[in-house]
Amino acid sequence: MNALLTRLRARLANERGFTLIELLVATACGMIVSVATLAIVISSVHLSANYTDRIDSNQEGRVAMERIIQALNSSCVSATLPPILAGTGGSDGNDAVFYSSLTDSPTITPNKVEVSLVGATGAQSLVMYTYDYVSGTTPSTWAFAGTPSTSDVLRSEERRVGKECRSRWSPYH
């Protein structure tokens, strides 16, 4: 038994461990690999968020355009009246004003619809206002409510906290 313990002690005494320099070099190499891996992960998360923003922007734009197209498709409410109104109180660079009938009834009950770009630069919104029909039998005598019955924000710009202003109008920021 004594011989066995002697051989075991001799064997353990012959094995060398790592020096302090070897441990420091291995730790430094491990840290470099860890930092590089973390940088790749952070970069991919930012790219993924950017792609998600683009997809969301495109989807929101499609919904807004569908709403406008639906209203414009039902804008032929009189054979003698062009659907898009021009002049005073009509369309201009920031507004498209037209008559539309979004009901399924056999008689035409027009609504006045205004699609407007409102707000200051950097905080603009695309809003659709609908004014209800009040009275009148011909297009020249139609009267509409003074305040909109509905106002739907179709699109709006957003600001991200801590980042530059990113417009949601374009999917390519």
- State how far the Cα of 140 lies from the Cα of 5, in Å rounded to an integer: 115
In a domain, 87, yes or no: yes
Q: What is the pLDDT of residue 137?
A: 82
Q: What pLDDT shows up at residue 66?
A: 92
Cβ pair 81, 90 in contact under 8 A: no
Per the domain annotation, does 169 fall within a domain? no
Look at residue 158 in the predicted model and tell me its pLDDT: 59
Quick check: 50 and 173 in contact, CB under 8 A?
A: yes
Q: 4: helix, coil or strand?
A: helix
Residue 113 lies in a domain: yes
Q: State residue 21's pLDDT score.
A: 93
Residue 4 inside a domain? The answer is no
pTM of the model: 0.61
Give the pLDDT of residue 172.
43
Asked if residue 57 is part of any domain, the answer here is yes
Residue 162 falls inside a structural domain? no
Spatial distance between the Cα atoms of 61 and 25, rounded to a whole number of angstroms = 54
Run of H or E residues at 130 = strand 125-131
* Domain presence at residue 88: yes
The pLDDT value given to residue 27 = 97
Q: For the chain, what is the domain count?
A: 1
pLDDT in tens, the chain (173 residues): 788 888 877 777 666 778 899 999 999 999 999 999 999 999 998 888 888 888 888 888 899 899 889 888 888 777 777 878 887 677 888 888 888 887 777 777 888 899 988 887 777 888 999 999 898 888 778 889 999 988 888 887 754 333 444 444 444 44
User: Is 122 within a domain?
Assistant: yes
Structural domain including 85 reads 45-156
